[in-house]
Amino acid sequence: METQPPDALADGEPRALDPRSIQVERLGGWIFTAIVGAILLVALGIVVLTADGMPAWLRRLLPFVWLVVTILLAWHAHRWPVLAYRHTSYRVDALGIEIRRGVFWRAAIHVPRSRVQHTDVSQGPLERRYGLGTFVIYTAGTDHAKVELSGLEHGVALRLREHFLPSGDADAV
Amino acid sequence: MPSEQRLHPVTLLFDIVKHLRAFALPALLLWFGASSGGPDGRFSRLPTGWESWLLLLLVPAVAASVVRYLTFRLQYVGRELVIRSGLLFRNERHVPFARIQNLDAIQNAFHRLLGVVEIRVQTGGGTGDEARLSVVPREAFDEMRRRVFEGRSGAPAAVVGDDFVPERPAPTARTLLHLPLREVLLCGFLENKGLVVIGAAYGFAWESGVLNGFWSRLFGAETYGGGLFRDLVGGVIEGQGLPFVAAAAAVAGLTAALLLVRVVSMVWALVRLYDFRLTRVEEDLRVEFGLFTRVAATIPLRRVQTITIRQGPLHRWLARASVRVETAGGAGADAGNLRDREWLAPLIRLSALPALLDQVVPGLDMNAVTWQPVHPRAFRRAVRPGLLIAGLVTFVWAVTLGWSAVPMLVISLTWAVISARQYVRHLRWAEHDEGVLIRSGWIWKHVTLARANKIQAVSFRQSPFDRRLAMGRVRVDTAGAGVASHRVDIPYLDRTVAAQLADRLAVQAASTEFRW
């Protein structure tokens, strides 16, 4: 801590994620929806074509069920990232980081800086296209052995990594 | 002065026996399967005496053991343990002393006969053992223990480039707890491990087919496998009234079974915990126990993450408790052995408890702790899941079995209300300079302390139900917590109290660096 000037990020103010993360999450959700929808469609086709003893009303109903499920998934993929974005924030100060998230089940996770074992900054293909990154903290804990914060601007994630570089070789276990 | 050590030559013997043991069961099954096939069976075309060729399958395993034995080298370089092994795939592993969480020695009866031990080295990372030295002479373990844990008490954890480890006189060991035979048996009686042992034995017997025909030979064909009890319950449900003789027999049988379970549990304790001894050597706790397999474990005091005191109803009646600690090494691995290793005191008199706690966490006085209750409306929040489950179970029961579900509903609702009320009434939490404490349970009571300097993360959580009642919970994450361990996870707190507690704990954790 003494060897580097404190980052401007470490001001103890709550920050939101990069708004572009909504778009990334949506893209991911749509891809998921497309895959699940396609698989369900194939399954539906097989069932309708092979099951002979099926009553006619069920045969007509099944495509509607598929349509409703797919629309619900798509709506969820479109809507959920906005809600999740609204309920996610992080706060960094000299002592550590606090991450808040969760729409229905909410959690605020504090990780003291002195307990950080090591950190990662990762970028998936979608994130790379939008210049975003995921900051990952590893602790020696059990539930929170790995704490991820995705949807950050890549530069911010790198700055966070700098801030959380271990300050000494003290052994926090 | 780096000295090189090898495994003890009897390693080969133990390895071969181990392979043979692993090999024996499948080979036997195959053999039986083949012979039961008869002269026209699937194996009849093989030349006679083919069974002995099965032994060829052992060759790769034995060869691997020989290579491991011949190439294995252990060195102490500076303040590191260097282990080399492998012929084609060379493997060199450096384990800094400072990273070693625990050093265990396991010695079964054969090991003891030959004066060797199996050493397990555990570090904070990963789930398994960092290194397993099987087997080395007893003196090698003493030397390793001396080198690894020496000079830890005063010096900082990481001393680099110190090539010379000074020879010190052997430090004196102070016995903190020793369980005489009577206490060991009592511990077995109270812990009630019998069901586990019986279950495991039954499972093994069933797997290996020993049980086929056993029940019918024992009871005759009519009362096959618990049919008596089933008939009895069925009769009551169908409203035939209680057949008195059968009921008495069932009660007697049940009592006998419960007693048997307790006796088996006492035998378990005798074998596992015989001559349990907890000693303190400088800054380390050493635990030794076992009748046939002696386990000698070293728990450095500064590696203690949480400490849990547990009391069942019989414990309270006899003024006893059991104490265990959690360390960071090898979380989740080899659960049985580890759980027993972390038993600081399987059974201790309440009068001796403060002295023991003072050794592990100096300054912790349980009587001076100011316990705080949870939210006043916690009962309302706690009782709901129980009521819901009771309702669901009754509903399913009513649909499948009919009106006999009504008394069931009454019983389960009463139980849900009583248990929720008792649970909330006994739920307490406290803050302390040393960390945070939680006390929970009303039949089995648990008190757990998570040390502030071992808190890895603190989370404040709210479910939708919590938010409706302005509540929240605080969960403290430490290293090495098992799935079944009693965690510091305080539910039903007032929202602001919980948020502030989480903040305070995070600050307290952040401001305690590694102190030793």
pLDDT digits (tens, 9 = 90+) for B385-405: 889 988 888 888 888 877 777
Q: Is the pLDDT score of B428 beyond 50?
A: yes
A98 vs B: CB within 8 A = yes
Q: Is the pLDDT score of B216 beyond 60?
A: no
Is the entire prediction scored with pTM above 0.90? no
**Which pLDDT does position B154 carry in this prediction?**
41
Pick B457's closest partner by Cβ from A104, A141, A173.
A141
**Which pLDDT does position B158 carry in this prediction?**
36
What is the rounded distance in angstroms from the CA atom of residue B62 to the CA atom of residue B13? 10
3-state secondary structure B92-138: EEEEEHHHEEEEEEEECHHHHHHCEEEEEEEECCCCCCCEEEEEEEH
More confident residue, B245 or A162: A162
Find chain B residues with C-beta within 8 A of A108's C-beta.
Answer: 459-461, 499, 502
- The helix or strand, by DSSP H or E, that contains position B84, with its residue range, turns out to be strand B80-85
**Which pLDDT does position B155 carry in this prediction?**
40
- CB contact under 8 Å between B328 and A140, yes or no, is yes
Residue of B nearest to A106 (CA): B462
| Contact assessment for residue B76 and residue B64, using Cβ atoms and an 8 Å cutoff | no
Average pLDDT, chain B: 80
Q: What is the pLDDT of residues B127-168, one digit of tens each?
A: 567 788 888 888 888 888 888 877 554 443 333 333 344 444
What are the φ/ψ torsions at residue B261 (nearest 5 degrees)? -60, -40
What is the rounded distance in angstroms from the CA atom of residue B52 to the CA atom of residue B307? 54
B208 vs A: CB within 8 A = no
Q: Where are the beta strands (DSSP E) in B219-302?
A: 277-281, 284-289, 294-300
Residue of A92, A138, A142 to mutate for B, most B C-beta atoms under 10 A: A142
**Which pLDDT does position B159 carry in this prediction?**
36
Q: Is the pLDDT score of A32 beyond 90?
A: yes
Average pLDDT value for residue range B190-195: 78
User: What percentage of chain A reaches a pLDDT higher than 70?
Assistant: 92
- CB contact under 8 Å between A171 and B158, yes or no, is yes
A173 vs B: CB within 8 A = yes
**Which pLDDT does position B179 carry in this prediction?**
92
- CB contact under 8 Å between A171 and B459, yes or no, is no
Residue of B159, B306, B467, B477 to mutate for A, most A C-beta atoms under 10 A: B477
Q: Is the pLDDT score of A153 beyond 70?
A: yes
- CB contact under 8 Å between B477 and A104, yes or no, is no
Question: How close A88 comes to chain B (CA, Å)?
Answer: 14
- CB contact under 8 Å between A106 and B477, yes or no, is no
**Which pLDDT does position B207 carry in this prediction?**
60
Q: Is the pLDDT score of A13 beyond 70?
A: yes
More confident residue, B327 or A110: A110
| Contact assessment for residue A140 and residue A117, using Cβ atoms and an 8 Å cutoff | yes
- ipTM of model: 0.86
Find chain A residues with C-beta within 8 A of B457's C-beta.
Answer: 109-112, 115, 139, 141, 143-144, 147
Per the omega criterion (within 30 degrees of 0), is the bond before B135 cis? yes
What is the rounded distance in angstroms from the CA atom of residue A77 to the CA atom of residue A35? 13
**Which pLDDT does position A2 carry in this prediction?**
42
**Which pLDDT does position B351 carry in this prediction?**
92
A172 vs B: CB within 8 A = yes
Q: Is the pLDDT score of A20 beyond 70?
A: yes
**Which pLDDT does position B171 carry in this prediction?**
65
Q: What is the pLDDT of residues B86-139, one digit of tens each?
A: 887 778 888 888 778 778 888 888 888 888 888 888 776 555 677 888 888 888
**Which pLDDT does position A152 carry in this prediction?**
94
Structure-token match 């069933």, residue found: B206
**Which pLDDT does position B240 carry in this prediction?**
56
Q: Is the pLDDT score of B335 beyond 80?
A: no
Average pLDDT value for residue range B350-372: 89
**Which pLDDT does position B494 carry in this prediction?**
94
**Which pLDDT does position B40 carry in this prediction?**
54
Residue-by-residue DSSP string for B292-335: SSEEEEEEEGGGEEEEEEEE-HHHHHTTEEEEEEEESTTTTSSH
Pick B456's closest partner by Cβ from A107, A141, A169.
A141
Q: What is the pLDDT of residues B31-62, one digit of tens each?
A: 776 665 555 555 555 666 666 777 777 888 88
- CB contact under 8 Å between A139 and B157, yes or no, is no
A126's tokens: 């979608």
Structure-token match 């049940």, residue found: B254
Find chain A residues with C-beta within 8 A of B512's C-beta.
Answer: 114
Q: Is the pLDDT score of B490 beyond 90?
A: yes
Q: What is the pLDDT of residues B271-314, one digit of tens each?
A: 988 999 999 988 888 888 888 888 888 888 888 888 999 999 99
Least confident among A85-89, B478-482, B501-505: B478-482
Q: What is the pLDDT of residues A85-95, one digit of tens each?
A: 999 999 998 88
What is the rounded distance in angstroms from the CA atom of residue A88 to the CA atom of residue A82? 10
